[in-house]
Amino acid sequence: MRVLTAIDSDAIAGLRSRHEFFWLDLSQPTSDDIDELQKLFSLHPLAVDDLVERDQRPKLDDYGDYLLMVFYGARDDGEGRPALVEVELLLHGDYIVTCHQQPCVELADVHRELEERPPSSEQFVIYRVLDTLTDTFFPVLSTIDDAIDDLESDVVSQPTDEQLRRIFGLKRGLVVMRKVITPQRDMFARAGEDIIKIAGLEPDTRDYFRDVYDHLIRISDLIDSYRDLLTGAMDVYLSTVSNRLNAIMKQLTVIATIFLPLSFVTGFFGQNFGWMVRHVHSLAAFLVLGVGGLALSGAVLYAFFRRAGFLAGAASPPGPRR
């Protein structure tokens, strides 16, 4: 089986005349490449539009003797965020054509694999391409899983605004993947049957396409699970921040309550009425009635708060239970 990475009109014409199955993989095709594809394969104008248009919804269109499929893979954008890889596929009994604007190292690995070990059937080549694109989601989701574990530990120990931004960033990434995985999963529920009905292909890989569908279901479930985990991490963040705020308010309340009687005593003795303070005429009386009254009221309130457990809670703010 031939694997081509550029348009060679003579080679393609020869392969088609011999009905020899081949794979043409175009990375970042130009407008001239698309025009050449239309001439070589007699593509429908709507199919040509789909090859040019970006950010499409996953779909499978039947054009008689060939199918056009919009399928997605995923990769890490280098900053820990998921990025989608959109691939348009032309599926025929004599060939498979893949077009993608983003680089896809995994497809290059499939090139070498098929050249070193020829496939047993044409359907297996289609399966390997679709399966490879599907499996690119798993490393990205594994990275998100590790990030969620780290976030949960950090949020419990010391919540920060940066953690909240990371939670929102991960949720946005999952939403982006969910927008393509859900329709891709639904599309592939029938795509396997449509592919094996292409003229020139034999229905001997039904189980392989079912395997791709199972992987899509698993990816969809993982995305939903990670969204729930991030929602839980956000709840833990808010709960932890709220508990720490309550502890701070408790400290301030204790301080304000202690100073309340002190303010009353100092205010009382600060009044300009002789008959109220005429007995305070010496240093000893001032120390006993003035300073002593302040110290006694503070000591009584301190003992009360300590007995009630308020001071223990204020000294070490409680965190959420694991």
312 Cβ neighbours under 8 A, 6+ residues apart = 306
Domain residue spans in the chain?
2-239, 246-315
Tokens 């989701």 belong to residue:
141
Pick the range with the lowest mean pLDDT from 61-65, 118-122, 270-274, 301-305: 270-274
- Confidence band for 290, pLDDT divided at 50, 70 and 90: low
Which is the CATH superfamily of the domain at 2-239? Answer: CorA soluble domain-like (3.30.460.20)
Give the count of beta carbons closer than 10 Å to the beta carbon of residue 164. 17
For the chain, the distance separating the N- and C-terminal CA atoms, rounded to the nearest angstrom, is: 57
Enumerate helices (H) and strands (E) in the chain, giving the number of each. 12, 6
- Confidence band for 302, pLDDT divided at 50, 70 and 90: confident
Distance CA 139, CA 145 (A): 10
Q: Is the pLDDT of residue 319 over 60?
A: no
The pLDDT value given to residue 162:
84
Q: Is the pLDDT of residue 320 over 50?
A: no
Q: Is the pLDDT of residue 211 over 80?
A: yes
Pick the range with the lowest mean pLDDT from 36-45, 122-131, 133-142: 122-131
